[in-house]
């Protein structure tokens, strides 16, 4: 297993942020025990989140502090004065213990309630901050995943085109392939195409060397001249390298015309672009 690839795959971040499903959680809990690098990566990401939170804590508004301090001052003033006198009586061992009255107990509970409220407000503020940080990290992580998937798709497309071109070069170098050059007709000498005709299977392949830019409603069509009559050899699509067309058992020549999208049962001779004889 490639540990570094696994760490950089985003599985660690998903696990720490609570985005992993049950199977992924079980897998990473096993791997963190077997591979110290994975455990270290988990701890490092957790520390980075903690550091980010501590570097920018959310402060309560100043008005909240003034309200709470005024409330606490009022509650302390309501405590029985005997409590304060009890502290002075500690200076002598003969002083009697002053019992706390019911009103003092009630005031203490009020004080504790206010303290609990302060803690609750502080906790809510921190929870809101961490929630915002979690959402921000989750959005960044999702954006990175989308970018990664897009790059992988583009890379796969490039690899497919390169493989098609390599296979095309292999076929063009095959001695069994009959090469038929299709130069432009008079007045359209800038056009050029090449037919590769497999002498064994009779499959026809076309390399559109130089043909005019197509309109959205037009398409090139290849024709094989058989006994002086044009036979449909297939429509030319956008392909990397050689375009595989129809199987043609025999032909004296090949030609390409510009037709409406989908092709035509008979060639439009006014739109003849290239023509080449076999042999």
Mean pLDDT by 10 residues, the chain (279 residues): 84 82 89 91 85 61 60 58 47 47 57 70 75 80 80 67 63 85 94 93 92 89 95 86 90 96 93 94
Q: CA quadruple 175, 246, 164, 161: dihedral positive or negative?
A: positive
Q: Which residues, 6+ apart, have CB-to-CB distance to 213 below 8 Å? A: none
Q: What is the pLDDT of residue 106?
A: 57
Number of residues assigned to the chain: 279
Bridge partners (DSSP) listed for residue 244: 205
> Cα separation of 193 and 131, whole Å?
63
What Å distances lie between residue 238 and 219, 221, 277, CA to CA?
A: 10, 12, 24
Give the separation between CA 157 and CA 238, rounded to whole angstroms. 14
Q: What pLDDT does 256 receive? A: 96
Q: Are 276 and 182 in contact (CB under 8 A)?
A: yes
The confidence score (pLDDT) of residue 19 equals 78
Helix, strand, coil proportions of the chain in percent (round to 5)?
50, 20, 30
Task: Report in angstroms the alpha-carbon separations of 68 from 44, 58, 103.
Answer: 38, 18, 21
């Amino acid at each position: 297993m490639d540990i570094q690839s696994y760490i950089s795959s985003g599985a660690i971040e998903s696990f720490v942020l609570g985005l992993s499903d049950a199977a992924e959680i079980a897998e990473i809990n096993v791997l963190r025990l077997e591979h110290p690098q994975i455990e270290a990566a988990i701890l490092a990401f957790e520390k980075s989140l903690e550091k980010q939170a501590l570097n920018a804590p959310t402060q309560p508004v100043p008005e909240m502090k003034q309200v709470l301090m005024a409330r606490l001052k009022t509650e302390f003033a309501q405590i029985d004065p005997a409590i304060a006198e009890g502290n002075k009586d500690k200076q002598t061992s003969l002083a009697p213990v002053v019992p706390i009255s019911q009103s003092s107990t009630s005031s203490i509970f009020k004080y504790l309630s206010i303290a609990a409220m302060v803690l609750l407000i502080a906790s809510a503020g921190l929870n809101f901050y961490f929630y915002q940080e979690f959402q921000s990290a989750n959005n960044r992580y999702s954006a990175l995943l989308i970018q990664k998937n897009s790059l992988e798709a583009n890379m796969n497309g490039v690899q497919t085109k390169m493989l098609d071109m390599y296979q095309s070069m292999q076929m063009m170098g095959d001695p069994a392939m009959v090469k038929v050059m299709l130069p432009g007709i008079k007045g359209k000498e800038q056009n050029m195409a090449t037919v590769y005709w497999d002498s064994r299977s009779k499959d026809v392949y076309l390399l559109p060397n130089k043909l005019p830019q197509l309109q959205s409603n037009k398409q090139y069509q290849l024709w094989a001249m058989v006994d002086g009559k044009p036979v449909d050899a297939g429509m030319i699509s956008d392909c990397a390298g050689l375009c595989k067309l129809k199987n043609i058992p025999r032909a004296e020549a090949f030609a390409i015309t510009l037709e409406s999208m989908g092709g035509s049962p008979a060639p439009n001779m006014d739109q003849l672009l290239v023509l080449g004889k076999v042999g």
